[in-house]
A and B are shown apart, each in its own frame.
Chain A
Amino acid sequence: NAGVTQTPKFRVLKTGQSMTLLCAQDMNHEYMYWYRQDPGMGLRLIHYSVGEGTTAKGEVPDGYNVSRLKKQNFLLGLESAAPSQTSVYFCASAPVSIRQFFGPGTRLTVL
C-alpha cells in the first residue's frame, strides 16, 4: 500500500515550457487535491476533485489545469511555466474532505 505518490520528485523548467505532475493514490479515495507551498504562505489550494471526472478551482488556480480521468490519478498541468510557479507542490487524497493524506511533494523550479 503505497498511499499517495507523486511524479516527478524534482523538475527544472525554463520559462514558457509545459509539464504535467502526476499524483496517484491506491486508497480508493474520492477526493483529491493539489496544493502549492511557498515560504510564509502555508499550503494554498490550486485545484481539487470530489470524484472521477470532476474538478474545481481552489484559491490559486491561475496558470494551472487539472484532470481526473481515473479515480486513482489526479494530474496537474502547467501550460506555460513562469518563475512565479517555482514552488513545492503537494498532492493529497481523502475518503471525505476532512482527513487528507499527502504525498511527498514535487519541487519545481522555473528559470
Chain B
Amino acid sequence: DQQVKQNSPSLSVQEGRISILNCDYTNSMFDYFLWYKKYPAEGPTFLISISSIKDKNEDGRFTVFLNKSAKHLSLHIVPSQPGDSAVYFCANQGAQKLVFGQGTRLTINP
C-alpha cells in the first residue's frame, strides 16, 4: 500500500532561521514527489517537486532533498518568513493520482 507520512503535525521556527519539514514514504509507485502549501480557507497550491533523477531541487528559498535509500525527503526553507506560515503537504505520484501525507503546520515567529 503506497503511503506518505509526515510525522510532525506542527513546527515552530523563528523568522530568518531555517525551516525543515520531513516526509517518509513506503511502496512508492513512482519516484516523483511534490510539496504543496495551504493557507487557511484556501486550497493547496503547488510549491516544488523532485524526481528520482535528482537528489536536490532548488527554487529560491525552497529546496527539496530526496534520499531514496532512506525513503525520505525534506523541504528546507531559508530564510523563513512570516508568510511561510501555512500547512505543508508532501505528496507522492501514484497511478493517475497523488498520495498525500497528513500535513505539517509551520508557524514562523517574529
Contacts and interface: CB of A to CB of B under 8 A. Distances in A.
Main SS class of interface, A = strand
Given A97-B97, A98-B32, A104 B46 contact: no
A109 to B, nearest CB: 15
A74 interface: no
B35 interface: no
B42 interface: yes
Contact of B97 (A42, A45, A90, A105): A45
A100 interface: yes
Interface residues on A, range: 20 to 34
Interface of B: 6, 9, 32, 34, 36, 41-46, 49, 89, 93-94, 96-103
Contacts, number: 56
Nearest to A50: B96
Interface of A: 4, 31, 33, 35, 40-45, 48, 50, 56, 58, 90, 92, 97-105
Among A4, A40, A43: residue with most chain B CB under 10 A: A43
Contacts of A104: 41-43
A105 B100 contact: no
